[in-house]
Amino acid sequence: MKRRDFLASGTGLGLAALAGCATNATGFSAAPVTGDALVQSIDSPMRPIKSSMSRVTRTIVGLRPFRKPGPRLEAARVGSKHVVHNYGHGGGGVSLSWGVAELATNLTKEARSDRVAVLGSGAIGLSTAILLQRAGAEVTIYAKDFPPYTTSNVAGAMWHPVTLFENDQVSQETVAMLDLASRIAFNRFIRFANDPKYGVYWIRQYSLSERPMSTLRPYVGGDALYPGLIRNRPGGPFGFPYYDAYYTLMIDPDIYLRALVNDFLAAGGRMKEMAFETEGDLEKLTEMSIVNCMGLGASKVFGDESIIPARGQLSFLLPQNDIDYGYAGSVDDYGLLYSFPRKTGILLGGSVDKGDWSLEPRADEIRRMVEGHAYLASKLT
């Protein structure tokens, strides 16, 4: 694509949404899963996860870039550079990546430059770089770390944007942007579903609660983005009195990010190691147009005090081919617990520690999760 095509073309929003369907969900139990479907119906029996310390394969820690007013997505002039800020997506970075990348690409085109620098190589940086390439730009990614050493590599990465903002600090404009970005992102992600190259596949997901859950507000992006959605139903799995359930996409970051890197490089992209300390460092770049996808790094470089870490610790169990579901809920004795199946192992999580910068795994947290998920598995009777 020639330079004039990049300046004139759009990337297209593609907002067609999947329609939800009503599902009868009763009688959850632990029983053999049968049938040829890649994912079972919401009310199908569930095999228990085998959660024990002897099955733990590894534990990782990541720091979500949580910005209290919500993600920053806007254009600004920084010295001589045209900068589009695209960071601070909390626990929704992978989920939102294609959506915010498309919006950032549209803002970048306003600079009318055919050479663009992208700062950061996580899911958002890579997605933004690829869309800029497809729009005809020559793109270089600058970062201190590259996959598999990014925050995105240690994300839970089930498709459902969460931990996005503080309710008392977010604007309606940001909420509207997140809804739009979610619709764009979901309808791009489903194109990867069940393609082993990208590590994206369907699962059924359950949100569990001891109390009735409000249905006054739709899920982020609208309920139509959650196929099969049922809300606030009684008699859920694991003995919970109430639950929501839907189908969604599980994204394995190690597989997915490796595929994006290969796509970017195959299209002629370049990746250069570089650290940034202040806004003045941007002047070292030859590109006049920059997209800032630095995540937590934007706090120091751009002086954004509203962004903080939201620490998450994940442990992985040996894989189980009979687990096609994920869940999230709080238990009195164990606190928040969530689990998702990956091809490489069963992910155990349950921590969102805002303001905590520690990257060291905590043994007590590993045991809490392992024992908590084992307790829930015992409730599948």
Is residue 310 within 8 A of residue 357, CB to CB? The reply is: no
Please tell me the predicted confidence (pLDDT) of residue 170. 94
Give this prediction's pTM. 0.88
Segment-wise mean pLDDT, segments of 10 residues, the chain, 381 residues: 39 33 46 58 93 97 95 96 96 96 96 95 98 97 95 92 91 96 96 93 96 94 95 94 96 96 98 96 97 95 94 96 95 95 94 94 97 96 61
Rg (C-alpha) for the chain, rounded Å, is 21
Number of other CB atoms surrounding residue 178 within 10 Å: 24
Phi (first) and psi of residue 364, to 5 degrees: -65, -30
CA dihedral sign, ordered 229, 235, 236, 240? positive
What does the alpha-carbon distance between residue 168 and residue 215 come to, in Å, rounded to a whole number?
20
Please tell me the predicted confidence (pLDDT) of residue 333. 93
Is residue 3 within 8 A of residue 354, CB to CB? The reply is: no
Contacts of 101 (CB under 8 A, 6+ apart): 86, 124, 127, 128, 130, 131
Note the Cα 350 to chain centre separation in Å.
15
Question: CA angle 322-219-380, nearest 5°?
Answer: 30
What does the alpha-carbon distance between residue 199 and residue 84 come to, in Å, rounded to a whole number?
29
The domains of the chain, with CATH numbers, are: 3-9+53-378 (3.30.9.10)
Please tell me the predicted confidence (pLDDT) of residue 29. 57
Residue 99, token pair as written in the block: 């959506």
Please tell me the predicted confidence (pLDDT) of residue 14. 34
